């Protein structure tokens, strides 16, 4: 397997150097960028397998960079933020980030999170069969093309992680998933982070599907426990 590439975007050279050291110790090739425009150029030119992206950047901030990335790619993105505010996390996840880390952070923990996401993306099956397509009343999930159709004519754009989250639940309709269970299924057993990340992604998934949490057609809440897929088979 070829060496995996991670783009580290931060305007502080010491942070880039520290993160580089930990990732390279794990055998990862590291690319660096110090501002938003350079980060976008590197994503196009170097095609990294994952991006570690600071929120506060010159030129374009991290949220703007993330939105531009999501226009053309589902590459995993971990956001770095010095502002420990839920609004920043929500904005980041709404625009398609996979995880967040609040500064100051443990470089070792960040490296572990990077490894966990890379393993998750590497473990996706390369081949699926027609029988794997999931059809429900008002919803079709196609794992071969990784597309989601709401109704008969509205294709929904999902991040790679949100698609995996929907597919994991839709494969087992009615099954109750705890947050930890979903983290294991989708993020991987070695996920290092806050279980509330599941709640944020469920909200963005519902928004994309046009689903109502109070009267769900697809994703229902099991109070104090987690979630389950409630779509009716077509």
Q: What is the pLDDT of residues 17-50, one digit of tens each?
A: 999 999 999 999 999 999 999 999 999 999 999 9
Query: Mean pLDDT of all residues in the chain?
Result: 87
Average pLDDT over residues 73-84: 83
Least confident of 84-88, 96-100, 155-159: 84-88
Q: Determine the pLDDT at residue 123.
A: 57
| Higher-pLDDT residue of 145, 220 | 220
Q: Determine the pLDDT at residue 127.
A: 43
The radius of gyration of the chain's CA atoms, rounded to the nearest angstrom, is 18
**Pairing state between β 77-81 and 50-54:** parallel
Distance, in Å, from the CA atom of 174 to the CA atom of 54, rounded to the nearest integer, reads: 38
Average pLDDT over residues 136-151: 91
pTM: 0.71
Q: Determine the pLDDT at residue 130.
A: 44
Helix-helix angle 62-70:36-46, to 10 degrees = 30
Q: CA-CA distances (angstroms) from residue 42 to 46, 69, 121, 211?
A: 5, 11, 20, 36
């Amino acid at each position: 397997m070829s060496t995996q590439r991670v783009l580290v975007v931060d305007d502080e050279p010491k942070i880039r150097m520290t993160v580089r050291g930990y990732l390279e110790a794990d055998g990862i090739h590291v690319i660096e960028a110090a501002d938003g425009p350079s980060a976008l150029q590197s994503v196009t030119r170097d095609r990294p397998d994952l991006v570690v992206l600071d929120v506060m950047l010159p030129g374009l901030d991290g949220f703007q960079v993330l939105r531009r990335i999501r226009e053309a790619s589902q590459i995993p993105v971990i956001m770095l933020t010095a502002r420990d505010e839920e609004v920043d996390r929500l904005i980041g996840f709404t625009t398609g980030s996979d995880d967040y880390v609040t500064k100051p952070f443990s470089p070792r923990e960040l490296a572990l999170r990077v490894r966990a996401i890379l393993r998750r993306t590497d473990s996706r099956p390369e081949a699926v069969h027609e029988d794997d397509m999931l059809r429900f009343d008002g919803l079709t999930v196609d794992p071969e093309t990784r597309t989601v159709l709401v109704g008969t004519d509205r294709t929904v754009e999902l991040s790679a992680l949100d698609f995996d989250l929907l597919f994991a639940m839709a494969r087992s309709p009615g099954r109750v998933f705890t947050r930890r269970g979903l983290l294991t299924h989708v993020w991987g057993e070695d996920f290092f982070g806050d279980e509330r990340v599941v709640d944020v992604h469920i909200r963005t998934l519902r928004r994309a599907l046009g689903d109502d949490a109070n009267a769900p057609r697809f994703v229902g809440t099991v109070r104090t426990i987690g979630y389950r897929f409630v779509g009716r088979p077509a």
